[in-house]
Each structure stands twice: as C-alpha cells, then as structure tokens.
Structure 1
Amino acid sequence: MPTSDDVMRERFLQSGDNADLPIVDAHHHFWDLQRNYHPWLRDLPRLPFRYGDYEVICRDFLPDDYFALAAPHRVVKTVMMEGEWDPRDPLGEARWATTLNARCGFPDAMSGQVWLDRDDVAEVLNEYQSMPLVRSVRHKPAAVARSEHTATFAAPGSMRCKRWRAGYALLEAKGLMFELQTPFWHFVEAVELARDFPGVTIIVNHTGLPADRSVEGLQAWRTALAELATCANVRLKISGLGERSVPWSVERNGPIVRDAIEIFGVERCMFASNFPVDSVVVKLDTLFGGFKSIVADLKPLQRLALFHDNATKLYRL
C-alpha cells in the first residue's frame, strides 16, 4: 500500500508545482521553557549571539507553534536538533522529545546532546542506541575567531583534541551520525576527522556558517567547503544563513545556496529551517519560499531530493 508520503511525492513529480512539494525540515528545535532548562534561553544576562538580540525566541516553541508558522508549506516530517539543554543532564532532552513524539507524532527523529570529551560519553551513547528517535549527536567543537586560527590549532575540546576524538571514535559502533557546527575555517580539522573516521557520517550544520559576506570571505568559504566535499562521508544542511540586522532575501542568499549545491551536489544537500532560532531574522514562510525560489530552475526530482528525499534517507524516516 502506498503511504501518504508516496502519494505526495507522486503528486509533486507529476505537477512540478512547489505548492505540492513535501518538505522534511532537517534541522529545527522544540523547547518547553516552562518545564525544561535550557541555560541560554532561561538565564540572564543573555549570551552573545551571531544574530544579535534573541529575546524573541526565549519562549516555548512546540509542534503547534511550528506548524502555525510553516503554513502554507507541506512540512511532512521534522528532525529536531538538540537545543543546548542543561548539560548536567544530556539525556534529558531526548527523553522529553520521545514523550513529545508519543503525544503528537513530532519530531520524527532527533540529534541528541553529547559531550565527547566527558567521562560519561560511552554511557550517553549507549542510552541513545536504545532511543528510536535518535539518529545523530552534536557537540560543537572548540573554535576560535578566524583571525586567531592557525594550521596547528588543537585546543582542548577541538576536533584535534585526543580526548574529544576518543569519544568521537565510539560513534560508528553505536550507529550514530555526527552533526558538525563550526565555522568554515575549521574545516581543515573536519577534513582530517572525516578521513580518519570514514565510517561516521558528518552532517555539516548551517552551510558552514558563511557569515563574512565580503568577496574574500565568501571565496574562503567556498574553498573550505570544496575541500570538505572531497570526503564522501560528509553531508550538508543548507540553513542558518541569516545576518544580523540584514533582512533575509533571495538576492543575498541565493548565490550562497547555489554555490553550496554546486560544490556538494544535489544528492548530498538538504534544506532546513533552524527554527525558531532563525525566526530572529526571517519568517518561516519567507524562508521556505525563498529556498524554493532559489532552486526553481532545477528538475522536480532534484528539488524533491533537496527538500524531502535526502533527509528522509539520511535520517531513516
């Protein structure tokens, strides 16, 4: 029997109309701040943030809130990213998400919090193995400003840190992918990581964070992205392209999206919202509409891959 996903895919492939395009949002957050503790969303003063003032997202964000914003787009499945939950309880968010899924059907999969250089890493990964929702984990490696980065950078907690890498080495046996959020100038370390552990899939978050929109900055981002793309075990999420105090637009972000797809290929990219975080800089309707507009010239099967099929396969939805 065909599933509802099959029916929607076929409808879109026949019509080619973006209004029929089924979407898997490959990276978003849910949080209930009345019940759960996310330090960066609850504590004062607020932390420095790349989009500036983020007070607007320091409130509950649950499936009903998400889907109210997602209309009129056909979001059929979602992948929840860990939201910097209380680090003293790394398993708590996945347990909460499991109850949320049981109650309302979302999220369909998630990435769990982990601290690869902590003593509890093996215990946490063992628990994630038994949680049906968890497909990947995230630990943002130590990073520095581009002006401070050197070819020998190997700070504690970085991708070259022996203790961090020892935790990372456990992922393959646990069947877990790794979500990498780091600025593009750290991709030299990411290439080493990908090549040293070819059995672990790395999913680059937020397009490699091309925040420097100067000609030189974007060329450096493209060069770093192209080097990382030589590693067959790396995938790319196209998301997180907001700029502080600059309206999100197709004109600003279209060239970056098209470059990313050209570098990694349609088959290794997927679109994601990063909501509610990116609501600081863009409306969800504008974001999905913008992504659709940017790739409107691609064939229906290619658009379906970017918005639905690649994430469905990668996260086993």
Structure 2
Amino acid sequence: MGHKSDQRIVDAHIHWWDLENNYYPWLMDKQPEEGGLSGFDNIAKTYLYDHYMADADGYDIEGFVHIQAEWDPSDPVGETRWLQALVDNDGIGGRPLAIVGFANFAAPNIEEILEGHAAHANARGVRHMLNHLSDQPALCWADQDYLQNDAWLDNFPLLKKYGLDFDPMCFSNHLPGIAELAGRHPEIRVILEHTGMPHDHTPEGRDTWSEGMRQLAARDNTAAKISGLGNTIEGWTEELIRPYVLETIDIFGTDRVSFASNFPTDSMFSDMPAIWDAFLSITRDFSQDEKDAMFADNAKRLYGLD
C-alpha cells in the first residue's frame, strides 16, 4: 500500500553520506561496543539525495536541513564544503538545503573552523552532540560534559561573530544548562534537536525532561525540532510518542517547532512513511496554517530557506 500526503514538508533534520568518496569513522571503522557510536552496521552504506527521495516517495518534500554526520574529524569543514558543492552543482533536485556543520568550541582552532563554515553560502549553523551521562557510558556521545568546559563556554559567543546558529543534541540533564547559555547569549539562535531526547520514561524522568524543555522555551532565541524519537523510545509507536510531540508543541508553540525525519539514522527503527504518518496523525486537529508552520514554514524561516 502506497503512502501519500499533500502536506508541504521541509525536513528539518537529515543526513547524507557518501562512503565511497568521504570518510565517516563511525560508519566505516570497526569500533568496540562503546559510547553512542556502535551498532550501526545496517546504515553503514552510502545514502544521498536520490536514496532519500525514494524513501520519501509520496510526500511533498520542499527542502532540507542537513545536520553534520560525524565526518572525518581531521577536516571539520570538509562536509560543509562537500554539501555546498552538491548544491552548486544542482545535485539535489533544485530544492533548498541548509547546512549545519560540526564545531567543538573547545578546539584550539575554533575560529578557523567557524570561519570555514561561514564562508559557504548555505551554511546556517553548527552542531555539537553534547550527550553525556557520567553514570551511563553507553549513552555518552560526548567524551566529557562540555557545559563544564571553560574553553567551550568562552568560545561559544564566537557564533555571533560568524553569523551561525547552534543546534545542540543532548539529554534532559543538559537542558537547563543550554537554557542558561541561550539566556546569556540572546543574539545566538539555539535550535534543540530530537525533542530533547527523552530517554527516562519514569514519572521522574518525564518531569525532568518537561521542566528542562520549559526552561529552554522561556528563552525567546530558542526553538525545537521534533524528531529522532526512535533513538530513545524503544519500539516506538504513534501512541508512545504522542505525549512527547504534543507537549513539545505546547511548550514551544506552533511557531517554534519543526518536524524532521532524522533519516537515514531513524531507518534503524522504522521506515520514513511511518514517521511522517505518525506526525501527521498526531497533529490532525491543528489548523492548516499551524501544520504548514510546523511541517515547513518554521524550518524555512529558522534556517533561512525562504
């Protein structure tokens, strides 16, 4: 049975990778069972625009926001350079693409990295995966708690100098710190990824997530992407994700949330139609203007795709 929707969509969080021509250590190197970088054999294959559009067949995809995909760490601007070439050579069907590259603000050459990203026309921001739970090493994407790193904090304001936004990925334990950071730097837009990655579904865990989301949303320079729920909700279904989706919308408002597929990473948990159909079903009672905002127009505005 085919899937089809005429809802306009700007997918606010996608990844493409070319394993034949580029280097992605987490997908190409044999790694021990450690950190958040293991168990990805089933997505360790080239995935580009044509693969994405085949997965999204039947959906009105108007544009994309490409989020850094752990490219060769020795060349942190290389992915942005590669993606810009895809755009410039009309390799993505003429659709608009925003690029969010990688930057670790604690790097000694951070200004060089940020300047390198900002030199590309489609660059919009940078991401750093901050996930770090000291008592749960299997849930640590980061090698330390960077919100406690003085160099990282001191260099964060450089984003303003280079006109870049910040896309943090983190668990609820870091949401208050991200909220505080956003409050200290209101001139820098902060766009939270993956619904704040709710991973503790006990009543206490849900309360911690909810409170952190509210602290972040209280800052006018913040927004949130609803995506990636397969990462933290085992065996996700529409009913399991519904409370998190609706509460995120309630907290941030329909003008500050964007939906995204997180493909192909989320192909580990479901196919793309399941994701879009769940989001469309959960939001069926919203007005068409609200749905247009959440599925397309907010991402276009936040990432400069207008």
The TM-score normalised by the length of structure 2 is 0.90
Per-residue deviation, 1:214: 2.1
> Could you give the per-residue CA deviations for residues 228-281 of structure 1, whole angstroms, max 9, x where no partner exists?
111111110001101579333111101110011001111110001111111100
Identity %: 34
**Are 2:27 and 1:38 aligned?**
no
Q: Residues 220, 111 of structure 1: CA spacing in aligned structure 2 closer, same or farther, 3 A cutoff?
A: same
Structure 2 CA distance for aligned equivalents of residues 161 and 169 of structure 1: 14
Per-residue deviation, 1:50: 6.0
Partner of 2:228: 240
Q: Could you tell me which amino acid in structure 2 is paired with residue 130 of structure 1?
A: A
Q: Residues 42, 51 of structure 1: CA spacing in aligned structure 2 closer, same or farther, 3 A cutoff?
A: closer
**Structure 2 contact 190–223 (Cα < 8 Å) conserved:** yes
Q: 1:119 aligns with which of 108, 112, 115?
A: 108
**Structure 1 contact 40–46 (Cα < 8 Å) conserved:** no
Q: Residues 183, 146 of structure 1: CA spacing in aligned structure 2 closer, same or farther, 3 A cutoff?
A: farther
**Are 2:295 and 1:307 aligned?**
yes
Aligned residues: 294
Moved more, 244-253 or 39-48: 244-253
**SS of equivalent residue, structure 2 residue 47:** coil
Structure 2 CA distance for aligned equivalents of residues 51 and 122 of structure 1: 27
Q: Residues 181, 243 of structure 1: CA spacing in aligned structure 2 closer, same or farther, 3 A cutoff?
A: closer
Structure 1 CA distance for aligned equivalents of residues 18 and 136 of structure 2: 38
Q: 1:283 aligns with which of 263, 271, 276?
A: 271
Structure 2 CA distance for aligned equivalents of residues 72 and 208 of structure 1: 29
> Could you give the per-residue CA deviations for residues 132-151 of structure 1, whole angstroms, max 9, x where no partner exists?
11101012236224789xxx
Per-residue deviation, 1:55: 1.2
Structure 1 CA distance for aligned equivalents of residues 237 and 37 of structure 2: 15
**Are 2:120 and 1:131 aligned?**
yes
**SS of equivalent residue, structure 2 residue 74:** coil
**Structure 1 contact 78–108 (Cα < 8 Å) conserved:** yes
**Are 2:211 and 1:223 aligned?**
yes
> Could you give the per-residue CA deviations for residues 84-109 of structure 1, whole angstroms, max 9, x where no partner exists?
11111001111111122224136611
**SS of equivalent residue, structure 2 residue 12:** strand
Alignment of 1:37-186 (within 5 A): 37-45=23-31, 47-48=33-34, 53-101=39-87, 102-105=89-92, 108-141=97-130, 143-145=132-134, 158-186=146-174
**Structure 1 contact 146–185 (Cα < 8 Å) conserved:** no
**Structure 1 contact 212–218 (Cα < 8 Å) conserved:** yes
Moved more, 212-221 or 72-81: 212-221
Structure 2: stretches of 5+ with no match in the other structure:
138-142
Q: Residues 217, 43 of structure 1: CA spacing in aligned structure 2 closer, same or farther, 3 A cutoff?
A: same
Moved more, 81-90 or 235-244: 235-244
Structure 1 CA distance for aligned equivalents of residues 271 and 206 of structure 2: 25
**Are 2:192 and 1:197 aligned?**
no
Structure 1 CA distance for aligned equivalents of residues 77 and 243 of structure 2: 39
Structure 2 CA distance for aligned equivalents of residues 160 and 267 of structure 1: 31
Partner of 2:140: none
Q: Residues 256, 316 of structure 1: CA spacing in aligned structure 2 closer, same or farther, 3 A cutoff?
A: same
Q: Could you tell me which amino acid in structure 2 is paired with residue 138 of structure 1?
A: R
Structure 2 CA distance for aligned equivalents of residues 233 and 47 of structure 1: 37
**Structure 1 contact 117–157 (Cα < 8 Å) conserved:** no
Alignment of 1:256-271 (within 5 A): 256-271=244-259
**Structure 1 contact 52–244 (Cα < 8 Å) conserved:** no
**Structure 1 contact 25–75 (Cα < 8 Å) conserved:** yes
Moved more, 303-312 or 41-50: 41-50
**SS of equivalent residue, structure 1 residue 64:** helix
Structure 1: stretches of 5+ with no match in the other structure:
1-17, 149-154
